[in-house]
């Protein structure tokens, strides 16, 4: 199975296309976890496909194949983690315990090892000198309202660059999470930019600061040319918004 791995991740695409609800002009989404529960067999079949790939096969993947594989893996196993207690939880944090957070628990069979979600995100996707692409923060979804949206299709090698750009544009344009405050004349950004500030200073796409990143999205972050010009100047103070850890559940939506 691993030798003929489907790099289009069609099984995952089928699930998210029907179970992810896109909102707010395409800038946010919620997830039909009840629907995932009904189709859990299909989800677990896909997870087995991911788990069947040996490290030697993975290492022969192209860079874009690897990135798509790891992002989809993170997102799919996160959904499976939620289903282990759904609907009896308010937040993914409810799945942690006094010994570890849900992201540090090693329960995922991947590349011949038993790993955690943190191992996938921090040990693989964010490992210095491997991908060095901060846009992954807009792609991996932590099953929370405050997180960048779960994409309504799988990431695929041929389009992953465009998909990551689109996710970044969506998130930066979502003013519940990122915005200019005209009263304080400050940028109010998602706490993600605080936690992973160093990733956004790597010089990816010529960006070396959070202010530089915000300058590219001035039109999305603020109304009016005066405010947008202030953001483009990069001489602005950045503050961080509280993170909403509530489950991004579409329960009750039509």
Q: What is the pLDDT of residues 58-90, one digit of tens each?
A: 999 999 999 999 999 999 999 999 999 999 999
Among 2, 1, 3, 20, CA closest to 154:
20
- Determine the Cα–Cα distance for residues 110 and 122; give it in Å rounded to an integer: 15
Is residue 41 within 8 A of residue 153, CB to CB? The reply is no
pLDDT recorded at residue 254: 59
Strand (E) or helix (H) holding 36:
helix 33-38
Query: What average pLDDT score do residues 158-183 get?
Result: 96
Is residue 222 predicted with pLDDT exceeding 50? yes
- Whether the pLDDT of residue 204 is over 70: the answer is yes
Residue 165 predicted with pLDDT over 80: yes
pLDDT more than 90, % of the chain:
89
Q: What percent of the chain has pLDDT over 70?
A: 98
Confidence of residue 251 (pLDDT cuts 50, 70, 90): confident
Per-residue pLDDT tens over the stretch 88-99: 999 999 998 878
* Lookup: tokens for 47: 């997870």
Each residue's pLDDT tens digit, 104-160: 999 999 999 999 999 999 999 999 999 999 999 999 999 999 999 999 999 999 999
Taking the C-alpha atoms of residue 141 and residue 151, their distance in angstroms, rounded to an integer, is 9
Residue 1 pLDDT: 47
In this predicted structure, the answer to whether residue 3 has a pLDDT above a threshold of 70 is: no
CB 221 within 8 A of CB 231: yes
Would the pLDDT of 207 be above 90? no
pLDDT confidence of residue 98: 76
Q: Residues 16-35: pLDDT tens digits?
A: 999 999 998 889 999 999 99
């Amino acid at each position: 199975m691993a030798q003929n791995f489907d790099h289009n991740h069609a099984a995952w695409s089928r699930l998210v296309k029907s179970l992810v609800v896109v909102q707010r002009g395409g800038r946010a989404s919620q997830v039909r976890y009840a629907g995932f529960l009904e189709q859990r067999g299909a989800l677990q079949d896909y997870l087995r496909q991911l788990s069947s790939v040996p490290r030697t096969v993975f290492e022969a993947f192209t860079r874009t194949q690897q990135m798509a594989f790891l992002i989809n893996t993170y997102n799919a196993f996160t959904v499976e983690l939620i289903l282990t207690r759904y609907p009896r939880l308010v937040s993914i944090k409810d799945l942690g315990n006094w010994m570890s957070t849900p992201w540090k628990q090693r329960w995922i069979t991947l590349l011949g090892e038993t790993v955690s979600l943190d191992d996938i995100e921090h040990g693989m996707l964010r490992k210095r000198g491997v991908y060095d692409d901060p846009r992954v923060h807009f792609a991996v979804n932590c099953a929370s309202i405050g997180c960048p949206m779960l994409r309504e299709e799988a990431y695929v090698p041929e389009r992953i660059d465009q998909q990551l750009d689109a996710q970044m544009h969506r998130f930066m344009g979502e003013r519940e999470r990122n915005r200019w405050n005209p009263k304080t004349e400050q940028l109010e950004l998602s706490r993600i930019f605080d936690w992973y500030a160093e990733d956004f200073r790597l010089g990816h796409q010529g960006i070396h600061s959070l202010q530089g990143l915000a300058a590219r999205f001035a039109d999305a972050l603020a109304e009016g040319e005066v405010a947008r010009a202030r953001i483009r100047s990069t001489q602005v103070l950045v503050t961080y918004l509280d993170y909403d850890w509530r489950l991004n559940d579409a329960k009750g939506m039509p």
